[in-house]
Amino acid sequence: MKKYKFSYSWYVLTLLFVGMAIAVTSVVLNVMRIINNQSPTDYNYVSIVTVVLVCVGYMILSVSMLVNSYYAIDDKYFTLRWGILKNQLEIKSMTRVVLDSGKRQLTIFYNENNYFVVKSATIPFPDLVAALREVNKKIIFDFADGSEKKDK
């Protein structure tokens, strides 16, 4: 199995870390609200527990995305792993791969007209394409010029 580590842009990293800070703050404030509340109602408990569970879920997802995100190619599947989320695409269903080096993206076409876009500044796309073609020799490889033409 060949793995290619996924790297996030500074914008996505900023959103993840700001979201984690908000989640931690929300959990602390809601726990303090439970402790300091003199006459709690069922609605208060349900709303506070819901907020805490959502924040903890976000923290688990965010940390797992930062620690365990990669693309992988084995004998059967092209796998995208974002922490605890996993998506697999059967390599034999792939028909065409288009590399757009200007945008640093690889578009993978499969099952006729469906496609999947791989964007990264750090993944060596020629190695990735070679690994895909080792498994499926029928994949057509093409280059895009990176320019978008707009009709006027």
Q: What is the pLDDT of residue 149?
A: 47
How far apart are alpha carbons 142 and 96 in whole angstroms? 8
Segment 90-126, tens digit of pLDDT: 989 888 888 887 788 888 888 878 888 888 777 788 8
Give 105 or 22, the one with higher predicted confidence: 22
Q: Which residues of 86-95 are buried (b: 16+ CB within 10 A; e: fewer)?
A: eeebebeebb
Q: What backbone phi and psi angles, to 5 degrees, belong to 69?
A: -125, 125
pTM summary value: 0.70
How far apart are alpha carbons 7 and 53 in whole angstroms? 28
Q: What is the pLDDT of residue 152?
A: 39
At 150, the pLDDT band (50, 70, 90 cuts) reads: very low
At 148, the pLDDT band (50, 70, 90 cuts) reads: low
31, pLDDT greater than 60: yes
Segment 61-74, tens digit of pLDDT: 999 999 998 889 99
Task: Identify whether the C-beta of residue 79 lies closer than 8 Å to the C-beta of residue 72.
Answer: yes
**Mean pLDDT computed over every residue of the chain:** 85
Segment 39-57, tens digit of pLDDT: 667 777 888 889 999 999 9
Which three-class secondary structure state does DSSP give residue 68? coil
